[in-house]
Amino acid sequence: METLSLIPTQQKDGRFGIFGGQYIPEVLMPAVQELEETYRQTRNDAEFHEIYTHLLKTYVGRPTPLTFAKRLTEELGGARIYLKREDLTHTGAHKINNALGQALLAKRMGKTRLVAETGAGQHGVATATVAALLDMECVVYMGSVDIARQQPNVQRMKLLGAEVRAVESGTRTLKDAVNEAIRDWVTNVRTTHYLLGSALGPHPYPTIVRDFQAVIGREAHAQILEAEGRLPDACIACVGGGSNAIGLFSAFVDDEEVALIGVEAGGEGIASGKHAARFADPARGKPGVLHGTFTYLLQDEDGQVLPTHSISAGLDYPAVGPEHAYLREIGRAEYTSVTDAEALQAFQTLARTEGILPALESSHALAEAIRRAPSLPRESILLVNLSGRGDKDLETVLKALKGRGA
């Protein structure tokens, strides 16, 4: 990608403040424009919405519940903690909301083939699932490191009829899988839709993905009002590329009294350099261009993208969605980081107190709530997005616990 000419286009639309835009090779411009035009037509199309909403209800299993974490709240002795249960969707993570929406868009564009990248495998599984549902060919790119640590999802994708292509370049994680998916898209653009899995990439992707994930926030907003008669003091979500977080935040962004808190992967600690915390490490996280968008990314002094580390494959990515960069710049959202060890601890705590195994990604959001709740008054409310379930992470968790002598 780096050797192809880059053209910043979209000056008005597709920007979040100075972030976002379209920094892509010319060969992709027609595809991105086609997607933008299709989305513009579809956005307010009653028939599209009817089909999409019907499938969300009858196939995905929406609305997902909002669960009051009673035992966890009692144990922490402070703020009341609520969990938005994206782990209860079909395929077990929020990724399905976006995959379904984009696959329907792809059908409208007459595409017959979907390509996707995946880190934790949840987006790959979601894409393979909707490809089966809508009778489309599906190829999923995945770094070989992620293939090793997310085996159950690799097997699921294959059973669903997708081809999983191992990526051996770079750090063999999500960033490298995105590179390969883009390469495939460039080559097969006439027949293929690139089903991007997070609120990343060139315009219109960050907007499309946010809009398809906004259902999380809309439901949570109504559900917390019903349960508590008021809005939460804070909404907390983990931030890989940022799709589950932006989906939740979007419904609360105009409610100034609600704090929006994004949680990045602190890995082995910010000082170690082994993390994926684009905001928490000002020495390494600076604005730049990656995968078609201008945003915060981890880079060295020469602008070379730095390797990342996280116990959770889904947060192990060097850039963050451009809308998050903007929300942080204007001070509307706050971003923190949680280490691997803290996430692991949160995973165990939720399992023990509530009988729920959260995804390691979601465990980061939960760890931030666990950190904050004890010092908050008992009438405070923290709403945590449980973006996915932890079955896929069992091997990683058991190995890590063994390593820690647990």
Binder of ligand PLP out of 63, 143, 204, 388 (CB under 6 A): 388
Please, is 134 exposed, middle or buried when counting C-beta atoms within 10 Å of its C-beta (0-12, 13-18, 19+)? middle
Amino acid code (one letter) for 169? S
Closest approach of ligand PLP to the CB of residue 375, in Å: 26
* Pair 139, 163: CB distance under 8 Å: yes
Site for ligand PLP in 5-44 (CB under 6 A): none
* DSSP class of 379: T
Taking the least distance from each CB to ligand PLP, the nearer of 281 and 361 is 361
Amino acid identity of residue 138, one-letter, is C
Cβ count near 329 (within 10 Å): 15
**Rounded to the nearest 10 degrees, what angle do helices 95-108 and 122-133 cross at?**
40
CB of 101 to ligand PLP, least distance (A): 14
Report the residue number, 90 or 108, with the smaller CB distance to ligand PLP: 90
DSSP character string of 32-100: HHHHHHHHHHHHT-HHHHHHHHHHIIIII-PSPPEEE-HHHHHHHTSSEEEEEEGGGSTTSBTHHHHHH
Q: What's the token pair of residue 403?
A: 């390593």
Stretch that binds ligand PLP, among 54-62, 238-246, 277-285, 334-342 (CB under 6 A): 238-246
Cα angle vertex 104, ends 152, 13, to 5°? 105
In angstroms, give the least distance from the CB of 189 to ligand PLP: 24
Phi-psi region of 83 (alpha: psi -120 to 50; beta: other; left: phi over 0): beta
* Contacts (CB under 6 A) with ligand PLP, residues 183-212: 198
Q: Which stretch binds ligand PLP (CB under 6 A): 7-15, 73-81, 243-251, 297-305?
A: 243-251
Instruction: Find the part of the chain contacting ligand PLP (CB under 6 A) among 165-173, 233-241, 286-294, 337-345.
Output: 233-241
Beta pairing partners, 44:
none
Asked if 241 interacts with ligand PLP (CB under 6 A), we say yes
Q: Which stretch binds ligand PLP (CB under 6 A): 116-124, 135-143, 186-194, 343-351?
A: 116-124
Residue 203 burial by Cβ neighbours in a 10 Å radius (0-12, 13-18, 19+): buried
Nearest to 266 by CA among 200, 146, 382, 346: 346
Q: By CB under 6 A, tell whether 120 contacts ligand PLP.
A: yes
Burial class (CB within 10 angstroms; exposed 0-12, middle 13-18, buried 19+) of 208: buried
Shortest Cβ 108–ligand PLP spacing (Å): 23
Query: What is the Cα–Cα distance from 66 to 85, expressed in whole angstroms?
Result: 6
**Per CB under 6 A, does 390 bind ligand PLP?**
no
Helical (H) or strand (E) element with 186: helix 174-187
Rule CB under 6 A: say whether 182 interacts with ligand PLP: no
Selected from 20, 63, 101, 119, the binder of ligand PLP by CB under 6 A is 119
| One character per residue 60-99, x = contact with ligand PLP (rule: CB under 6 A) | ---------------------------------x-x----
Q: Which residues within the stretch 306-325 sit at the binding site for ligand PLP (CB under 6 A)?
A: 314-315
Task: Tell me which of 244, 250, 308, 336 binds ligand PLP, using CB under 6 A.
Answer: 244
Number of residues that bind ligand PLP (CB under 6 A): 22
**One residue of 102, 122, 173, 299 binding ligand PLP per CB under 6 A:** 122
For residues 210 and 114, what is the distance between their CA atoms, to the nearest angstrom? 20
Which position among 240, 285, 288, 318 is part of the footprint of ligand PLP (CB under 6 A)?
240
Query: By CB under 6 A, what part of segment 349-378 binds ligand PLP?
Result: 359, 361-362
Minimum Å gap between C-beta 331 and ligand PLP is 21
| Beta carbon nearer to ligand PLP, 101 or 241 | 241
* CB nearer to ligand PLP: pick between 265 and 270: 265
Q: Which residues are catalytic?
A: 95, 117, 387
Contact with ligand PLP (CB under 6 A) among 239, 327, 376, 400: 239
| Cβ neighbours of residue 150 closer than 8 Å, sequence gap 6 or more | 119, 120, 121, 142, 313, 392
Give contact residues for ligand PLP (rule: CB under 6 A).
Answer: 93, 95, 119-120, 122-123, 198, 238-245, 314-315, 359, 361-362, 387-388
